[in-house]
Amino acid sequence: MNRSPAVPGGTLVLDSEGLAKAVLRDRDVAGWLALARADDMRVITSAATLVEVVHPRIKRPALEWTLSRIAVEPLTEPIARHSAALLADAGLHGHKYAIDAMLCATALAAPGPVTALTSDPEDLAALCGSRVTVIKV
């Protein structure tokens, strides 16, 4: 694992795949989480991501333990409105992009610099632009 491009004091954001891999203790994601702790970064996800991450492969106690170590940011009306604006600005729409847009709006509201771990780097880059460093996991 190479040193993170993330900057101390920023925010590390997990999409559903990043969160699922954290729950499964994936080596790469565990490395990112260790770097985040060492660099005093806040680790967050969107409450909307929880809907996407729960599936038969995810053991509930492991999920709850992982969630106890990160901040789950609520989906508020301002975040929802910002999500809709991000979709419109990117020329995207529909349920395929909705949760990614909510995650991006959450990321953009977080203290920067912001790094996001995602399985959809193209989608997040389209929605966040250069304001978030997007890393594929």
Question: Tens digits of per-residue pLDDT, 38-85?
Answer: 999 999 999 999 999 988 888 999 999 999 999 999 999 999 999 999
Residue 40 parent element (H or E): none
- pTM of the complete model: 0.91
Q: What is the pLDDT of residues 5-18, one digit of tens each?
A: 555 679 999 999 99
For 24-32, the CB contacts below 8 A with 24+ separation are 24/57, 24/58, 24/62, 25/62, 26/137, 28/1, 28/137, 29/117, 29/137, 31/1, 32/1, 32/4, 32/117, 32/135, 32/137
Calculate the average pLDDT of the chain. 93
Structural domains in the chain, sorted by start: 11-136 (3.40.50.1010)
**What is the reported pLDDT for 5?**
55
Predicted confidence band of residue 109 (pLDDT cuts 50, 70, 90): very high
